[in-house]
Chain A
Amino acid sequence: MIRTFPLCRVPGTLLACLLSVNGYGHGETPMEVGTLVSAAVSVTWRDDGMLLQDDGRWLIPGVLMGGEAYPVDAGVTVDEARLDLAHRTAERVFGRLQIASHDGVSDAEIHHAYGGLQLDTGPVLTTLAAGRMAAAMTPANGEHASDRLFSETPLPLQAFLGSQLNDDGARVSLGLGAWQLGLEAWRGDRFPAAGEGEDLNDVYLHYRDGWNGVQVFAGIWWLQADAVNRSDTRYSADGHDHGSVSQSTTLPEYWFDGRTEIGGAFLRLDGGHASHWHWALEAQYLQVSIEGSVRDSTRLAPWSAEDNGGWLQASLGHGAHTLGLRWERLVLENHLSGAAAGALADLTGLYNPDHDPERISAVYHWQVQPGLALRLEAVDDAIQTESIQRVAVGLVWQAELL
């Protein structure tokens, strides 16, 4: 297996942008000196869940699912519960520990456990971090139900990152003014790498600034993941007992070997905070190239894919009340070959009957108190060829405990 360091693929224009701007630092790095302990819980009742396969699995037609891409279920679900401890010294040494459960998964796990330091090296602010953390190439990757306007994880993240890329690894970020260049190298245990721990790296360039009262946060990123023997462990991994699959059900076993490359771009605009009115716009796009093969115990089919996915989100608020809309869509193009192409396309869920998985959501968000919000959502879910509608009522509680 040829290992390539992602920096060698960074376009020259990207580096040129970096070198022409001023100092800046952001992200999950604790920025305030001292210790902060916080907690958040998001609980949602839904009148209906997502459409599942007969065996209880949730598949997006045309996507090789994996990671922690779980469906939402009918009834009451704890979308997220987390306890977060962050500490930063005056010497710019920091650490963070977060224990969380999310996406209705019953058991909590260590979500963040990392440490690092910042080095003020002239105009460049260098941040080093290592440990378990969420990849920072797009801010959406680090957000959960308590952070987002909507309770459900964006569809492209579910499809292409297994809900969230969270792994053991190291990050180097260089901040210059409004710009930040980040390089991340991961152990490769998580989707879309996973399996036997192959390469998983990403690089990103972010821009964050304020223009005439509008906060701008934009970025482009690129990720490469190599996988050997990657399987869909969503319903078999320890501590991930998800209710949609019966324990007595025998699920098909299959594996992916190959490379996934994802390019992404995003823009977030946030304005109007000087008045009672406030608004926000967000656009996210992911372009995915996959080259490899899928196989089960006896069959193999070479597989390549050129997928696109993205979402647009807009919200308008007045005081504690916010209305929002989100449109998400996937465009999936799969090529399978060989005698087992049809059988494995069916088995793995890669067969897509010319359908663009799509979801449109509307939300009313009421910040009842500083730490408590009510969320009402209506979702038109056309992820499967048969579309369904559901409504949801949720509460989001957040608090700084220390």
Chain B
Amino acid sequence: MRCAGALRRSRLWTLLYPLLCSVMLVACGGSETYLDDEAANKTAFDWALREGVPLPLEPAANPMSETKFQLGRHLFYDARLSGNGTQSCSSCHHQDKAFTDGLVVSVGSTGDSHPRNAQTLTNVAYNATYTWANPALITIEAQMHTPLFSEQPVEQGIDDSNQDAVLQRILDEPRYEALFAEAFPAQGSPVSFANIIDAIAVFVRGMTSFNAPFDRYQLGQRSALSASALRGQELFFSEALECFHCHGGYNFSDSTVDRTIAFVERPFHNTGLYNIGGSGDFPPDNQGVFEATGDPSDMGKFRAPTLRNITLTAPYMHDGSIDTLEAVVEFYAAGGRNVESGPYAGDGRTNPFKDSFVSGFAITAQQQADLIAFLHSLTDESFVTSPRFSNPWE
């Protein structure tokens, strides 16, 4: 019997031994989280981001540098960078308006009207695509060919007939010699349109804006948002209003890319602004992604822009056809817009290609005021007054 008992105890010990070792292991403690970002968050450039915002992508062919940023800033504000010497990038991108121009649609250097409203340059480093509706345009460098060289409509109006003269104007400016040399130190003759584009792209890419009251609230400053803005924030992120589906995330746009993103989405949305003749059509000069793809289901689809600094960027929508934020909220509450007469007549609310999130909602006057108070909290005053982004020629 003693043998049987000893055997039984030894078998039980088979079960108990790992348990006792384990209890000791747990008792010792030592929780840790190891994060290896594989150098993705390494950067030599001062992006001035707030905590919690990932770094934007940086093209390998055009790495960020402070010297390129400063050169790009000079070029951005230089009207000599246009065919007739009258228009710079800043002509349509005013700092005090979060780098928009306040017009319904922008006007080029030769007087051509652009069919679309000037977009803000706020945080464009995070854009998954550029311009209002071009899924193929995914870098600032590629986008910049349009304002500099486009012929329909003419924007800055540089073409074969004047490009040498434009470059000569740049060469003739004494400040540029040092700026180009510092920005592109390995090149013997750095004044070229390729380098001009790279430098302006670095400047524009470096325009980050994450110091709004909303950001300060996110960082723990509870007084940064008013009670009304907090109520508006809850409405904004509610399933009832659906705003956040297209304007969510740290940049308030679903068309956002950064270094952490593995699956890049480049969505476009038809918000029901038009429905000409009930067939889903948009005005012929402004049909969204359809113009690039020819796919009927892409009719009227445009990129959801960031809502950061939105209070400074009126008028709104891709064609500047809505004047105020209040009217924009009413437009979404109605689930689209019914154009009752004229060449664009048609009920956008029933546009067959309309995004399902633009389904309309009921909202009281107080709720609308709260929602707009929240949108005001996305305004970064330091962005629109920062000397870093200001005109260096003044």
Q: Do chains A and B stick together as partners?
A: yes
Contact call B234/A265, Cβ cutoff below 8 A: no
Answer yes or no: A120 CB below 8 A from chain B CBs.
no
Pick out which of these stretches binds chain A: B7-15, B161-169, B311-319, B375-383: B7-15
- Extra pairs beyond A340-B54, A342-B260 (9, CB < 8 Å): A17-B14, A62-B33, A248-B234, A267-B15, A298-B261, A299-B262, A338-B37, A356-B29, A356-B31
Contact call B25/A331, Cβ cutoff below 8 A: yes
What's the least CB distance linking A147 to chain B, in Å? Answer: 21
Q: Sort A-B residue pairs by CB-CB distance and give the 5 closest, nearest first.
A: A339-B40, A285-B22, A340-B260, A265-B19, A356-B29
**A352-B33 in contact given A298-B261, A298-B264 (Cβ < 8 Å):** yes
Contact call B31/A332, Cβ cutoff below 8 A: yes
Q: Which residues of B contact A21 (CB under 8 A)?
A: 11
Contact call B35/A354, Cβ cutoff below 8 A: no
Answer yes or no: A20 CB below 8 A from chain B CBs.
yes
Contact call A330/B31, Cβ cutoff below 8 A: yes
Binary CB contact string for chain A from 315 to 347 against chain B (1 if under 8 A, 0 otherwise): 000000000000001111111111111111110
Q: Which residues of A contact B31 (CB under 8 A)?
A: 62, 330-333, 352, 354-357
Interface members, chain B 171-190 (any A CB < 8 Å): none
Q: List 30 A-B contacts (CB under 8 A).
A: A17-B14, A207-B15, A218-B16, A220-B15, A266-B19, A285-B22, A285-B26, A298-B261, A299-B263, A310-B23, A312-B23, A331-B26, A333-B30, A334-B32, A334-B34, A335-B33, A336-B36, A337-B36, A338-B36, A338-B38, A338-B262, A339-B54, A340-B54, A342-B41, A343-B260, A346-B52, A351-B33, A351-B35, A354-B31, A357-B31
A350 vs B38: C-alpha distance when bound (angstroms):
18
Answer yes or no: A360 CB below 8 A from chain B CBs.
no
Answer yes or no: B112 CB below 8 A from chain A CBs.
no
* B interface list, Cβ under 8 A from A: 8, 11-12, 14-16, 18-19, 22-23, 25-38, 40-41, 52, 54, 234, 237-240, 244, 259-265
A313 vs B253: C-alpha distance when bound (angstroms):
51
Contact call A219/B237, Cβ cutoff below 8 A: no
Contact call B261/A265, Cβ cutoff below 8 A: no
Contact call A339/B22, Cβ cutoff below 8 A: no
Q: Which residues of B contact A337 (CB under 8 A)?
A: 35-38
* A interface list, Cβ under 8 A from B: 13, 17, 20-21, 62, 205, 207, 209, 216, 218-220, 248-250, 265-267, 283, 285, 287, 295, 297-300, 308-310, 312, 329-346, 350-357
B19 contact from A216, A285, A295, A334, Cβ within 8 A? A285
B35 contact from A218, A285, A336, Cβ within 8 A? A336
A60 vs B18: C-alpha distance when bound (angstroms):
26
A246 vs B302: C-alpha distance when bound (angstroms):
33
A309 vs B23: C-alpha distance when bound (angstroms):
8
Q: Which residues of B contact A298 (CB under 8 A)?
A: 261-265
What's the least CB distance linking A325 to chain B, in Å? Answer: 15
What's the least CB distance linking A53 to chain B, in Å? Answer: 14
**A248-B19 in contact given A207-B12, A309-B26, A310-B26 (Cβ < 8 Å):** no
Q: Which residues of A contact B41 (CB under 8 A)?
A: 339, 342
Q: Which residues of A contact B30 (CB under 8 A)?
A: 331, 333, 356
A73 vs B167: C-alpha distance when bound (angstroms):
70
A275 vs B6: C-alpha distance when bound (angstroms):
27
A287 vs B19: C-alpha distance when bound (angstroms):
10
What's the least CB distance linking B3 to chain A, in Å? Answer: 13
Q: Which residues of B contact A13 (CB under 8 A)?
A: 14
A346 vs B53: C-alpha distance when bound (angstroms):
12
Quick one: closest B residue to A304, CB to CB?
A: B34
A250 vs B260: C-alpha distance when bound (angstroms):
22
Quick one: closest B residue to A356, CB to CB?
A: B29
A342 vs B16: C-alpha distance when bound (angstroms):
39
Task: Pick from A338, A343, A354 the residue with the most CB of B within 10 Å.
Answer: A343
Q: Which residues of B contact A335 (CB under 8 A)?
A: 33-34, 36
Contact call B22/A287, Cβ cutoff below 8 A: yes
What's the least CB distance linking A358 to chain B, in Å? Answer: 8
What's the least CB distance linking B34 to chain A, in Å? Answer: 5
A194 vs B28: C-alpha distance when bound (angstroms):
32
Contact call B16/A295, Cβ cutoff below 8 A: no
Quick one: closest B residue to A312, CB to CB?
A: B23
